[in-house]
Amino acid sequence: MSGKSFNAFEMAQAQFDHVADILDLDAATRALLRVPLREYQFSIPVRMDDGHVEVFRGFRVQHNDSRGPCKGGIRFHPQETINTVRALATWMTWKCAVVDIPLGGGKGGVICDPHNLSAREQEQICRGWVRQLARNVGPLADVPAPDVMTSGQHMLWMLDEFEAIHGKKYPGFITGKPLGLGGSLGRTEATGYGVIYTVREALKQLHIRPEDTTASVQGFGNVSQYAIELYTQMGGKVICVSSWDQTDQTSYSFKKVAGVNLKELLDITDRFGGINKAKARDLGYEVLPGDDWLVQEVDILIPAALENQITGENAGKISGKVKIIAEGANGPTTPEADEIIKAKNIFVIPDFLANAGGVTCSYFEQVQCNMNYFWEKDEVLGKLDVKMTSAFLAVSALAAKRKLYMRDAAYVIAIDRVARACRERGWV
């Protein structure tokens, strides 16, 4: 998301400005919601394994907390920028609001590459990040979670440091923790399943049976794998999936007209989600260029990898057969591509609605930790289904009523909820 050509925060602000016009927001509310309420930038000195001290740059952005404590991941990335963090914090505000959970948007990061750091060095970065922010985060203020290149282990180190500083147990301070240490059942499935709950509702509206549909999926990480699992259980057939090849540093698409078999693909996948090309061919898969997932003759496209993937350049290549695009990834579609997709009359389930299962389940984890009582997996996934379904129905009803594009309808609901909270608190 970094780089001079693509500024994620400018894209987030452009999306906001567009919807602020639809809502006819007043100048003060626009000024308040267009930029984050608070930003922290700090240095984290770490004594490395060889004895020298390295100084890492850390961030936390709290975009808006009018509806509740901020919530959002912490990513470790060598190209992390403050603008990326600002954009993701902003999107988190809208994501929490669209599924109507009482949280606001936050995001954090550290400029580092965990691939080149020992476990001890990573632990020192985690503890240093918390030491810099211990007064400004917490279960009633700002609740972090894992993101790109961070895991449940990183969250535990952060939790331990936070509890050591404050001298009490605060399991609700951070989410994405391992099971048995405050983690929630259902969390690993949550984002992928949430995508498919919304797809199921979209198919109902279009009067299409899941078993009569085919899909193509970009990415083969956590979101993609669980989306494929649930979609296949509903009777759908995935005929193409793309994955990133760590050795070639490029992506490939794997196609099987009879339908991909999730279990056999997982057996030949490395820990980065890269599918072994030679073994896939032996299993009867056609190995195609990475972008070919987009041009398949299917009913449903699920981009579940990176941002900025469906663009003005390639959106025209989408098959006329495609009826639904469900955005499992954050920001996969550019505004230029949206115009082409609108003209093709494809039903879009926008990212911050489609992939809100993750933050919804993080909210469930926080609730369970704060009351020190944990639910069974079926209860977690049942509550997730209710939340995702009602959010989808609210957005699609508004889209139909006001003749809005689904992305615009989702933004109208989310931004209106946050604007109202700010007004009712007397902030504007």
Residues 77-100 as b or e (16 or more Cβ within 10 Å = b): beebbebbbbbbbbbbbbbbbbbe
Integer Cα distance of 387 and 360 in angstroms: 8
Tokens of residue 259, six digits? 């339908």
Integer Cα distance of 277 and 288 in angstroms: 10
Rounded to 10 deg, the angle between the 27-34 and 406-424 helix axes is 110
DSSP three-state, residue 250: strand
376 by Cβ neighbours in 10 Å (0-12 / 13-18 / 19+) ranks as exposed
- Give the Å distances, CA to CA, from 198 to 86, 101, 161, 353: 27, 17, 38, 8
With contact defined as beta carbons under 8 Å apart, do 125 and 161 qualify?
no
What does the longest C-alpha to C-alpha distance in the chain come to?
65
Phi then psi for residue 177, to 5 deg, are: -80, 160
- Annotated active-site residue in 95, 107, 237, 256: 107
Residues 28-37 as b or e (16 or more Cβ within 10 Å = b): ebbebbeebb
Integer Cα distance of 222 and 191 in angstroms: 8
**401 annotated active-site:** no
Catalytic residue numbers read: 107
